[in-house]
Amino acid sequence: MRLRSMLSSWLGCAWLVLCTITPVHAQPDDAARNAFRACDAQAFLALNMARNYLMSNRNRGLVLPHVEGSEIGRAMAEDLFDRVERGEIQHPGQFAADTLFKCANSLKLSVGATKEQAAVCFTRTDIAVLLDAERARGVPRQKAVSNVSAKLTVRSLYPMALMHQVAEAVYKPEKAPDVRELMGSVAWSCIHAPAPRAASSASR
């Protein structure tokens, strides 16, 4: 239940950020940063939207309330529903990567990776989500890694080295880190890494 609640909360926060980060009067450097932040926010909105939908056995009620009153958000949700029904989206990372590239292309930004690599990188944020949930339940670090590795078994997508690295970030601080920031760190460090480290398809 806490995991579902967190995802719903992130959806609302992501949409709030998406609606407020692009000033009308921006200097060139500011415009570039805002463009990047806009695409990052859209990608993570798509990721959390798709994760909510797919993890809840396609419960639209966990998605639609967060995009009420927004034509863009509603269109994104309907696109997700349609593409899942057609079998085009099997994992949230795919929808996030598609959204990122659509935004980047429209704003003339370079992602620095292929769409397939980005999908893998967004997929790997599952590690941060699940380890954070384990810490919140009071599960010790070693047991948490064991539990999460038992759930995320495809090592080409979820390498153990990364799992231990994320566990360090989740468990070492006295206060649990901001999960959205940690997800961003996992995704973007992977996107900026050489392609072989994220060469498998997220649809597997």
Residue 74: how many other CB atoms lie within 10 Å: 14
Greater model confidence, 112 or 172: 172
Question: Half-sphere exposure of 121 toward its Cβ, with a 13 Å CA cutoff?
Answer: 31
In the chain, how many H helices and how many E strands? 9, 0
The residue whose two tokens read 């090592």 is 155
**Cβ partners under 8 Å of residue 89, min gap 6:** 50, 54, 80, 83, 95
What was the pLDDT predicted at 195? 58
Task: Answer whether residue 116 is part of any domain.
Answer: no
Could you tell me if 6 and 42 lie in one domain?
yes
Token couple for 138: 């009071």
Q: What percent of the chain has pLDDT over 90?
A: 61
Query: Over the stretch 126-175, which tens digit does the pLDDT of each residue have?
Result: 999 999 999 999 999 999 999 999 999 999 999 999 999 999 999 999 99
Look up the domain containing 181 and give its range: 121-198
Question: Half-sphere exposure of 181 toward its Cβ, with a 13 Å CA cutoff?
Answer: 5
Could you tell me if 78 and 133 lie in one domain?
no
Helix (H, G, I), strand (E, B) or coil at 86: coil
Could you tell me if 107 and 144 lie in one domain?
no
Could you tell me if 64 and 89 lie in one domain?
yes
Could you tell me if 131 and 106 lie in one domain?
no
At residue 91, does pLDDT exceed 60? yes
Task: Answer whether residue 204 is part of any domain.
Answer: no
For residues 168 and 154, the answer to whether their CB atoms sit within 8 Å is: no
Closest of 68, 74, 76 to residue 44, by C-alpha: 76
Residue 4: how many other CB atoms lie within 10 Å: 14
Could you tell me if 71 and 154 lie in one domain?
no
Q: Which residue, 88, 111, 134, sits at the end of a domain?
A: 111
Q: What is the DSSP letter of 157?
A: T
Could you tell me if 96 and 140 lie in one domain?
no
Q: Which residue, 54, 76, 111, sits at the end of a domain?
A: 111
- pTM for the predicted model, two decimal places: 0.78
Closest of 128, 121, 120, 203 to residue 165, by C-alpha: 128
**CA 71, CA 102: separation in Å to the nearest integer?**
17
Q: Which residue, 57, 83, 111, sits at the end of a domain?
A: 111
Could you tell me if 131 and 170 lie in one domain?
yes
Could you tell me if 13 and 72 lie in one domain?
yes
E strand or H helix at 130, and its extent?
helix 125-136
Could you tell me if 96 and 193 lie in one domain?
no
Could you tell me if 107 and 33 lie in one domain?
yes
